[in-house]
Chains A and B, each alone.
Chain A
Amino acid sequence: MAEFMNKPMGRRAFVGGALATGVLGVLAGCGQKGNPSAAGSTSGEGASGGTLRYYINNPVSIDPYNLMEDQGTQVGFQLFDSLTQYDFEKGEIKALACDSWEVNDDATEFTFHLKEGTTFHNGDTVVAADWKRGWERILNPETNPESPSGIGYHLAMVDGYDAFTAGEADELTGVTCPDDNTLVVKLAYSYADFPYVASHPALVPVPEVALEDFQTFFLSPIGNGPFKMDGNWEDGQYINIVRYDDYYGDKAILDGVNFVIQKDVETAYREFQAGNLDVCDVPATQIPDARETYGESEDGYTATPDHQLLLGGEPSTYYLTINCAQAPWDNVKFRQAVSMAINREAICEEVFHGTRTPADNIVPPGIAGYEEGVWPYCKFDQDAAKALLEEIYPDGNYPTITLTYNQDGGHKEIMDVVMASLKEVGIEAEADTNEWATILNRYSSGDYEIGRCGWVADYPIMDNFMYPLFFSTSGDNYSQIGDDAIDAALLEARATIDDDERIAKYQKLDAELGEQCWMIPLMFYTHTTVVGDNVAKFYLDPQKKADMSKTELVSA
């Protein structure tokens, strides 16, 4: 799913596989236990590559079974390779664990030719049946009867999905394995972007042992990626992975990665400053200081010594979701007025010290098809907002609105500015704070007025911003939109095979949606990741996937 972000500091990455930047270095350093001053040293045995200490929050899952948010996905990327991956430098989808793929004329059948000779971390050879098993394991209601996976919907377009998830079929009939190295996926309807879906880090093969003991595999998954688990996931503490030497692709330089689990970015950053972490996120409030201390990376994605702070843009959007089925929000003019009343620049400048950019579209830059300024009401114009409000409420009796959000993760400051902005055009806003789990529940059942939300794509395509948010029966349609024209336009775009033509259709729809102001985009996310002095080269792609296999440490 596109994950609704809970914490602005913890975001997710999406594309699979290893790519990007090349570099070399060597290194290590033997951290001495009991010597806290050894900042920058690592606790490896001092072999060739060293161990990188990487901050994450406690993940929901590192097993593809329920791989949904950025924290677990970061680990999943290192353990598993999916069929495809998105190359941000070239802006195209390319093969990862397969050599190539073909699509039929109406985009309903995809044939993937798997790479030969790839193995799982337990030595088993990866065959087509393992892919089918991996995908079925996510969908099968018997895998974990009381608590099914929350990400099965990624495969909703695959033929046989409904019957299999309902427990009526023994297998996912849309996925077949003509031979060990061929995987054929048949879809229930045309969907030309399927190779992007296949880049999702949860859509990976699993070995037979995965079905034997759910719990063991869940805590220590066996994958086909460049790193393998070293011991179990110690909940709330750490996840350690080490290089898998029989990996089919380019082997990692690092000996391993310690994912150090911290409960929030503030604690993590203190540990980073104390030299106990090599890669960490920076709390928004510490950005100016971090800029000075660590130096900004030139491209925003590649860190080298003295250019250690990564502030590159991410293709994800922070927005206010609106319950458009309810007064006063069913009035499009009211939505437009509120959208124009909010001072987006103030949030980006004051709260995020200019690292984030004001949003002018629900689709963020970096996604093929993004156009500047197509959402006309995403601009700060108090006079226009006031004029609209006077038009709707000639008597000057503006409604008081209730703004729903969770206080953690630094949202408090952002919402303070939003409320202050609204007050300036005469709209009183009341805060309705709650825990994120409860808020999600209320959004999906339409039990709210206006609330904070974040949208991060699972795969970097326009469809992933439009179909989930605007399609009437989508589980993420929190705006409660039910518009046949929008539904028809989305399905039509999905079935269009030519890339340019398809994108043009999404763009046309995007402009129409912006006019209606179904939601209020506030800003586009950026990285705020910093690396320590001992990291020679580190690459974090726009979707926040760290390329661990190319990461290097400085020789101590």
Chain B
Amino acid sequence: MGTYIAKRVLQFIPVFLGVTIILFVLQNVVPGDPIRLITGGRAVPEQTEEIMRINNHLIQVDENGKALRDENGEYIPTSLVDRYFNYMNKLFHGDLGTSYQKKVSVTSIFAQKYPYTVRLAACAIALEAIMGIGAGVLSAIKRYSFWDILVTLFTSIMVAIPAFWLGMLLQWFFGILMKQWTGGAFSMPISGAGGPSSPYYDWMHYILPAFTLAAVSTAYTARIMRSQLLDVMNQDYIRTAKAKGLSKRDIIVHHALKNALIPVVTYIGIDFGGMLAGAILTETVFNWPGVGYEIYRAITARDWPIVMGGVTIIVVVVMVINLIVDVSYAFLDPRIRLGSSKNEG
């Protein structure tokens, strides 16, 4: 087990480096001078600009921290490689830089945003697990029934629905129509995460975004649950149990379900990692103060430190979650670690 974990961690390193390099290159090939992005497009006095360039590690300096100049009196830009090492060095000291426009540290921005993303993801995962597993089991044990067809049809639709559109439909129905029908007595909040100025309880703010975020994954969970349960029911030991005269209910609850659940739980685990990457569309539609919307906003505003820092955090979080999922899966199912450990996604 130890070697397996070590191997997985080692695999993570090149991927992590690759991700940071790609991001770094993207950021540096985008047209536009970082100084102009920081000052909102306007020119600043030359000396101020020099200080900014030095502080942002854009030009080379001598040992006294003064800017170096070439024979024409021009600044000597730092090389891309040099900038990258500078970035990674700061990263390992827990410094993700300072936002161009927000003026505060990237770490503090995400310290504020991440809890909202985590809480929303947790709600969505709970919904996904309950609804997905429930629907999957129902459709497997009542195979070919009306319910099976209903679940299958519903999951197909959920996979094809644009998440942002689903979010808007929910807003329209629960936020607007519901309010009209009940004469204002009942409705659901349609934007934001609550707080003192909201007339709703804070928890109510989670409902619609969580459903929107969970929709697609619920469909996948239900499909995997269904096929796994059907697979397991065809296994020899289940047939044996049947032959022994155990009730169908007993077989499903005590034998089949336990084994069929392993891949489903794995899928949910990996999906949780994905949700922790933030959900740009759901967060945009519901004005949710999470990491996905923040990074999207930063991309459109060319606030590169937030993009860099945010994606770096996300990639680490997602990979750690995947690692945990893989390891626990290997722990539950010894065949995995004995066989190929190559992740074939």
Q: A and B: direct contact (Cβ < 8 Å)? A: yes
State the A residues within 8 Å of B (CB): 1, 4, 31-39, 41, 43, 51, 53, 60-61, 63, 65-66, 68, 141, 144-150, 152-153, 162, 165-168, 214-215, 218-219, 234-238, 240, 258, 260, 262-263, 267, 270-271, 274-276, 435-438, 440-441, 443-445, 473, 475-476
Q: Are A33 and B199 in contact (CB under 8 A)?
A: yes
* B323 at interface by CB-CB < 8 Å: no
Q: Are A258 and B197 in contact (CB under 8 A)?
A: yes
Q: Are A263 and B37 in contact (CB under 8 A)?
A: no
Q: Are B47 and A441 in contact (CB under 8 A)?
A: no
CB distance from B1 to the nearest CB of A (A): 42
A263 to B289, CA, bound (A): 10
Q: Are A68 and B199 in contact (CB under 8 A)?
A: no
Within 8 A of A (CB), among B55-71: 55-56
A145 to B184, CA, bound (A): 52
* Additional A-B contact list (11), CB under 8 Å, known A43-B196, A166-B45: A36-B189, A37-B187, A147-B103, A165-B45, A165-B48, A168-B47, A235-B109, A238-B197, A437-B37, A441-B32, A441-B37
A165, A167, A274: which contacts B175 (Cβ < 8 A)? A274
Q: Are A444 and B196 in contact (CB under 8 A)?
A: no
Residues of A within 8 A of B42 (CB): 1, 150, 153, 444, 475-476
* B179 at interface by CB-CB < 8 Å: yes
Q: Are B37 and A237 in contact (CB under 8 A)?
A: no
A11 to B209, CA, bound (A): 30
Residues of B within 8 A of A166 (CB): 45-48, 50-51
* B258 at interface by CB-CB < 8 Å: no
Q: Are A53 and B197 in contact (CB under 8 A)?
A: yes
A33, A63, A444: which contacts B201 (Cβ < 8 A)? A33
- Residues A437 and B189 in contact in the complex (CB < 8 Å), given A167-B51, A238-B196, A444-B43: no
Q: Are B38 and A441 in contact (CB under 8 A)?
A: no
SS class, residues of chain B in contact with chain A: loop
Q: Which of B104, B175, B189 has the most CB of A within 10 A?
A: B104
Within 8 A of A (CB), among B17-51: 31-33, 36-48, 50-51
Residues of A within 8 A of B201 (CB): 33-34
Residues of A within 8 A of B36 (CB): 440-441, 444-445
Q: Which of B32, B45, B179, B192 has the most CB of A within 10 A?
A: B192
- Residues A218 and B198 in contact in the complex (CB < 8 Å), given A146-B56, A237-B289, A262-B191: no
**Interface size grouping (class) on chain B:** 35 or more
Residues of A within 8 A of B185 (CB): 37
SS class, residues of chain A in contact with chain B: loop
B108, B200, B303: which contacts A33 (Cβ < 8 A)? B200
Residues of A within 8 A of B187 (CB): 36-37, 274
Residue of B nearest to A268 (CB): B191
* B79 at interface by CB-CB < 8 Å: no
Residues of B within 8 A of A436 (CB): 300-301
Q: Which of A53, A267, A435 has the most CB of B within 10 A?
A: A267
A448 to B301, CA, bound (A): 19
Q: Are A218 and B98 in contact (CB under 8 A)?
A: no
* B271 at interface by CB-CB < 8 Å: no
Q: Are A438 and B184 in contact (CB under 8 A)?
A: no
B52, B108, B294: which contacts A148 (Cβ < 8 A)? B52
A51, A147, A150, A258: which contacts B98 (Cβ < 8 A)? A147
Q: Are A34 and B33 in contact (CB under 8 A)?
A: no
Within 8 A of A (CB), among B288-308: 289, 293-294, 300-303
- Residues A237 and B193 in contact in the complex (CB < 8 Å), given A65-B103, A147-B98, A437-B302: yes
* B7 at interface by CB-CB < 8 Å: no
Q: Which of B50, B102, B113, B175 has the most CB of A within 10 A?
A: B102
Q: Are B47 and A235 in contact (CB under 8 A)?
A: no
Q: What are 17 inter-chain pairs, A to B, with CB distance below 8 A?
A: A1-B42, A33-B199, A38-B199, A41-B199, A150-B42, A165-B48, A215-B104, A215-B108, A218-B104, A240-B197, A270-B176, A275-B184, A437-B300, A438-B31, A441-B41, A444-B42, A475-B41
8 closest A-B pairs (Cβ-Cβ)? A166-B47, A440-B41, A475-B42, A37-B184, A258-B197, A236-B289, A146-B98, A475-B43
* B190 at interface by CB-CB < 8 Å: yes
A274 to B180, CA, bound (A): 10
* B139 at interface by CB-CB < 8 Å: no
CB distance from A315 to the nearest CB of B (A): 21
Residues of B within 8 A of A32 (CB): 199
Residues of A within 8 A of B196 (CB): 43, 238, 240, 258
Q: Are A141 and B198 in contact (CB under 8 A)?
A: no
* B16 at interface by CB-CB < 8 Å: no
* B100 at interface by CB-CB < 8 Å: yes
A267 to B168, CA, bound (A): 11
A437 to B30, CA, bound (A): 12
Residue of A nearest to B189 (CB): A36
* B97 at interface by CB-CB < 8 Å: yes
A234 to B41, CA, bound (A): 27
- Residues A60 and B102 in contact in the complex (CB < 8 Å), given A150-B40, A236-B289: yes
Residue of B nearest to A143 (CB): B103
* B284 at interface by CB-CB < 8 Å: yes
CB distance from A273 to the nearest CB of B (A): 9
Within 8 A of A (CB), among B265-311: 284, 287, 289, 293-294, 300-303
Residue of A nearest to B99 (CB): A147
* B101 at interface by CB-CB < 8 Å: yes
A141 to B50, CA, bound (A): 10
Residues of B within 8 A of A1 (CB): 40, 42
- Residues A271 and B200 in contact in the complex (CB < 8 Å), given A61-B103, A147-B100: no
Residues of B within 8 A of A34 (CB): 199-201, 204
Residues of B within 8 A of A61 (CB): 102-103
Residues of A within 8 A of B193 (CB): 237
Residues of A within 8 A of B101 (CB): 60
A258 to B199, CA, bound (A): 12
Q: Are B293 and A236 in contact (CB under 8 A)?
A: yes
Residues of A within 8 A of B176 (CB): 270
A437 to B100, CA, bound (A): 11
- Residues A270 and B41 in contact in the complex (CB < 8 Å), given A60-B101, A165-B47, A276-B199: no
CB distance from B133 to the nearest CB of A (A): 31
* B165 at interface by CB-CB < 8 Å: no
Residues of A within 8 A of B259 (CB): none
Residue of B nearest to A58 (CB): B297
Q: Are B103 and A144 in contact (CB under 8 A)?
A: yes
* B195 at interface by CB-CB < 8 Å: yes
* B112 at interface by CB-CB < 8 Å: yes
A255 to B260, CA, bound (A): 59
CB distance from A215 to the nearest CB of B (A): 5
* B312 at interface by CB-CB < 8 Å: no
CB distance from A66 to the nearest CB of B (A): 6
Q: Are A150 and B45 in contact (CB under 8 A)?
A: no
CB distance from B240 to the nearest CB of A (A): 54
CB distance from A464 to the nearest CB of B (A): 15
* B186 at interface by CB-CB < 8 Å: yes
Q: Which of B31, B51, B103, B113 has the most CB of A within 10 A?
A: B103
* B105 at interface by CB-CB < 8 Å: yes
Q: Are B186 and A36 in contact (CB under 8 A)?
A: yes
Residues of A within 8 A of B113 (CB): 235-236
Q: Are B289 and A235 in contact (CB under 8 A)?
A: yes
A444 to B186, CA, bound (A): 51
B43, B195, B204, B301: which contacts A437 (Cβ < 8 A)? B301
CB distance from B144 to the nearest CB of A (A): 44
Residues of A within 8 A of B175 (CB): 270, 274
Q: Are B190 and A31 in contact (CB under 8 A)?
A: no
CB distance from B119 to the nearest CB of A (A): 13
Q: Are A153 and B44 in contact (CB under 8 A)?
A: yes
Q: Are B287 and A262 in contact (CB under 8 A)?
A: yes
Q: Are A167 and B195 in contact (CB under 8 A)?
A: no
CB distance from B92 to the nearest CB of A (A): 18
Residues of A within 8 A of B184 (CB): 36-37, 39, 275
Q: Are A150 and B199 in contact (CB under 8 A)?
A: no
Within 8 A of A (CB), among B139-166: none
- Residues A438 and B38 in contact in the complex (CB < 8 Å), given A141-B51, A237-B195, A262-B287: no
